[in-house]
Structure 1
Amino acid sequence: MHRRRCRSAALVLGLAASLLVPTAVAAPPAAAATPGSKKVIVQLFEWNWTSVASECTNVLGPKGYGYVQVSPPQEHVNAAPWWVSYQPVSYRIESRKGTRAQFQSMVTTCHNAGVKVIVDTVVNHMSGQDNGGTGWAGTTYGHYNYPGNYGAQDFHYCGRNGTNDIVNYSDRYEVQNCELVNLADLKTESDYVRTRLATYMNDLLSLGVDGFRMDGSKHMPAADIAAIKAKLSRPAYMVQEVIYGAGEPVQPTEYTGNGDVHEFRYGKDLARMFNSERLAYLKNFGEAWGYLPSSQAVAFVDNHDTQRDGGVLTYRDRGEYALANAFMLAWPYGTPAVMSSFTFSNKDQAPPSDATNKVLNTTCYSGWECEHRWRAIANMVGFNNAVQGTGVSNWYDNGYQHIAFSRTGKGYLTVNDEDFAVTGRSYYTGLPAGRYCDVIHGDFSNGTCSGPVVTVDSAGWFAATVNAHDAIAIHIGAKLP
């Protein structure tokens, strides 16, 4: 009888340590990649603009990331917790992460490295401070008073449940007209409010940004977002945050007419397969599970909210987390988004900052986790780029925790999440014969591989041992001469 593993904490921390090694960095590309040829998004959560720019040049561009999602850049409440970035007090591009000039320089630098920029955009609400205060850049504000932007007439006051707060997520009116944890809820049905929000987004477009992550989209009717989008000065990529809730009246599918939508079920279900069920069940993972259409979904193992709320794999799961991300980057569902975190011991903890709350430059592994640099994640971005446009073929599973599949003619991944090594078996890849770098364990650069090399024979097969809680990945972009 096959038993589902019961791992000790020590084993979890020791899982496939090589998966977590920071990948080597190649020289930056000479020119930007063809627009649209690279799909993977990386969320550099709360990184300052100087650090984002450096990362685009030194890591994101060379590793093939297509987009960097940066945290909200507008002036915000002046306090320590991470969530102050999501409490706007004005639309000045001046925040704990840097100045307007630093922001624009970052966008230009990322573009030069072939990386597009998505801005996390807070449009549903303003601050949640009852007594108001002075914002990061010196702007004085009140809970419902933002001089030069909004007055009391520009907000919802739903008056339900003795407060203005949302209590019942089964009530569409409450979800879209009441306040999310006391955050002053903008009247987005107002043309004035829509125009002011579009003016902010157009300002960002003037600085060169390529797209927007629309925070709190579920709390605005899809038609309001469409009206704001119609006021933009040029086309831009858009992904909307709409958390699925079973039986709730506001559903993610309502928003696909505006652009892409985050598929929150993906990370929770993937964690369940790794933690307590079977990877074999992933054979039809995606739309067949009731998810959004693949062409309009952004998939992720975790993001800044879910890693604090539980039910998903996070950086703390080490090797298991690396394997889940490797699977996501190999599997053809949605646009994959990789999380890059700072470490935290409580949900409200600030990013590494100085005494004034200014975010410090990122130094990976010094308060910053930098999961996007882990070898098994960073090198699978190249895999994702190499297999674009292909489907899944040659699926194999042992009924439990060992799976393998091809991205037809372009790549092959096998994941063994059993507690024991799988030895003495061969894998049919359908790939051209030759020698390939195992990008889970080695970096491919200038025709050489720093790790194990996999030989595919003339019939498309290779033989290998796959260690417990480990993987092997090969693709045509990492084929040795």
Structure 2
Amino acid sequence: MTRLLARATAPLGALLLLAACSGTPDPPERRDVGVQLFQWTWEAIATECTDTLGPAGYARVVTSPPQEHIVGEEWWTAYQPVSYRVESRLGTREQFAAMVETCHDAGVDVWADAVVNHMTGQDDPGTGWAGSSYSHYDYPGIWTDADFHHCGLTANDDIASYQDAAQVQTCELVNLADLATETDHVRSTITAYLEDLLSLGVDGFRIDAAKHMAADDIAAIIEDLPDGTGIAQEVIRGSGEPITPEQYLGNGQVYEFAYGEELRGVLAGSPRLALDLGTSSTWVPSEQAVVFVDNHDTERNGSTLNHTDGEQYVLANVLMLAGTYGTPVVYSGYAFSDRDAGPPQDSAGRVLDATCEQDGDWVCQHRWPEIAGMVGWRNAVGDAPRLDEWSQGDAVAFGRGERGFVVVNAGDDELRADLATSLPDGDYCDVLATGDCTASTVRDGTLTVAVPPRSAQAWDVTSRP
């Protein structure tokens, strides 16, 4: 882990090493990789868009929820709204708008995490971050008790069984006041909030807890949003549950949680099986699936790999970014030992700007050379088909048309092999390496590789010595 963090602090140019091209023309670039900068302040995101995300080729950044929330140190305070004012411990409305503009200037879209299923889970009245008063079912000027569900299906109105769709969508998720999203007033108020964020330049939304709202309710909420507004819904797939991600596809993309969960198991066995993920009819179609190795929930509940898994985590990200299934989102958060722990904060509770220094609080996975390098690689190969597949034991290799080739060695021994590739003959830089160009040669369609244990190498037609 220390090695990975140390490398993450190197200058971006050294990390990416997108070397000057030889005579090979660049293929059409396709940017589709998102990055979730969990609990990063607006000013820190703006700086990162300019210094890292844009140059690295990230297509969009997913921010944490921008609305006013309850006061507290824990990470989940950001997911308990008090009002729809764009004022939070991550920054002011003005800072948020400035961040969006800066990211756009860097070629990076901005998506906001929209918490619209519920309000707070606090039984006692309180005052939110921006000074708004509230109680569990009363938010002056916004909601009254009549705007919430009181399902009456369980002893405390909390969800008790995920096999009961009515409980999942009308009872409370861990005491969070559940909005009656089937009503016109609730729908129009939420729509107005999303429109306000769009007026600040936001390009799309991650709809938090979408599973806990009927798909038709979400459809009504987003119906009047401008064409081209991005929508990605959090619908966690559960075995045998009546609510499935497929029910939400009419609204936009859906996060396919099965991907990260299955990828963890694949790396514990054969990485070759990663190429089959998403081919089952029980998964969301590729063009509507958002995939990830981990996110802020799964890194805490252990259902997926996370940054503490070190080399295995890196290889999982390489396989995701090299693959053809879904639209990938890289996760980048902070280190913690207590699963409730919030990000670094000052004495007033404001989150401190993220810094990617060695052994710091912020993990900055999106800067790790293997992950940042694969983002550029994915952009370079575009939509080229997967071919030249090869596997042996704990290793797998494959190409993407004539544009790129990648080798993943998950084993404990060095991999040495001569591999057939469709890359044009010539010399190529390993885009996952740091420092000066580490060149490999394709001769007569064959690439000779020497890949250290638990590592990966990748080459593309834009990175030539």
TM category (shorter chain) comes to: over 0.9
How far, CA to CA, are the matches of 1:23 and 1:46 in structure 2? 23
Q: Deviations over 1:415-457 (max 9, x none)?
A: 111111112x2111201122111011136xxxxxx24111112
Q: Does 1:478 align with 2:463?
A: yes
Q: Does 1:92 align with 2:85?
A: yes
Alignment match, 1:187: 180
Alignment match, 2:442: 456
Correspondence list, 1:187-336, <5 A: 187-275=180-268, 277-288=269-280, 290-336=282-328
How far, CA to CA, are the matches of 1:419 and 1:23 in structure 2? 27
How far, CA to CA, are the matches of 2:245 and 2:147 in structure 1? 26
Q: Deviations over 1:201-238 (max 9, x none)?
A: 00000000000000000000111000001132453000
Q: What is the TM-score of this pair, normalised by structure 2?
A: 0.94
Structure 2 residue identity aligned to 1:288: S
How far, CA to CA, are the matches of 1:19 and 1:52 in structure 2? 21
Structure 2 residue identity aligned to 1:470: S
Instruction: State the 4+ residue runs in structure 1 displaced beyond 6 angstroms.
Output: none
Matching residue within 333, 345, 349 for 1:357? 349
Alignment match, 1:32: none
Alignment match, 2:118: 125
Alignment match, 1:81: 74
Matching residue within 370, 387, 391 for 1:393? 387
How far, CA to CA, are the matches of 1:162 and 1:21 in structure 2? 50
Task: Quote how far apart the aligned CAs of 1:24 are.
Answer: 3.3
Tell me the SS of whatever aligns to 2:114. Answer: strand
How far, CA to CA, are the matches of 2:6 and 2:251 in structure 1? 37
CA 1:233–1:476 in 2, change beyond 3 Å: closer, same or farther?
A: same
Matching residue within 160, 163, 181 for 2:156? 163
Greater RCO structure (CA 8 Å; 6+ sep): 2
Alignment match, 2:330: 338
Q: Deviations over 1:244-270 (max 9, x none)?
A: 001000000001110000010111111
Alignment match, 2:23: none
Correspondence list, 1:128-143, <5 A: 128-143=121-136
Q: Does 1:433 align with 2:420?
A: no
Task: Quote how far apart the aligned CAs of 1:36 are.
Answer: 9.3
Task: Quote how far apart the aligned CAs of 1:93 are.
Answer: 0.4
Task: Quote how far apart the aligned CAs of 1:477 are.
Answer: 2.0
Alignment match, 2:22: none
Ranges in structure 1 where 5+ consecutive residues have no aligned partner = 1-12, 29-34, 444-449
How far, CA to CA, are the matches of 1:453 and 1:263 in structure 2? 36
Q: Does 1:45 align with 2:41?
A: no
Alignment match, 1:24: 11
Deviates more, 1:223-232 or 1:134-143: 223-232
Ranges in structure 2 where 5+ consecutive residues have no aligned partner = 17-27
Structure 2 residue identity aligned to 1:268: E
Structure 2 residue identity aligned to 1:297: A
Structure 1 residue identity aligned to 2:313: Y
How far, CA to CA, are the matches of 1:209 and 1:355 in structure 2? 30
How far, CA to CA, are the matches of 1:478 and 1:126 in structure 2? 49
How far, CA to CA, are the matches of 2:355 and 2:6 in structure 1? 20
Matching residue within 364, 368, 371 for 1:370? 364
Task: Quote how far apart the aligned CAs of 1:319 are.
Answer: 1.2
Q: How many residues align?
A: 452
How far, CA to CA, are the matches of 2:372 and 2:281 in structure 1? 27
Alignment match, 1:6: none
Contact 1:300 1:336 survives alignment (8 Å): yes
Task: Quote how far apart the aligned CAs of 1:64 are.
Answer: 0.2
How far, CA to CA, are the matches of 1:219 and 1:305 in structure 2? 16
CA 1:99–1:19 in 2, change beyond 3 Å: closer, same or farther?
A: closer
Tell me the SS of whatever aligns to 2:462. Answer: helix
Contact 2:431 2:459 survives alignment (8 Å): yes
CA-based RMSD = 1.9
Structure 1 residue identity aligned to 2:449: A
Deviates more, 1:54-63 or 1:17-26: 17-26
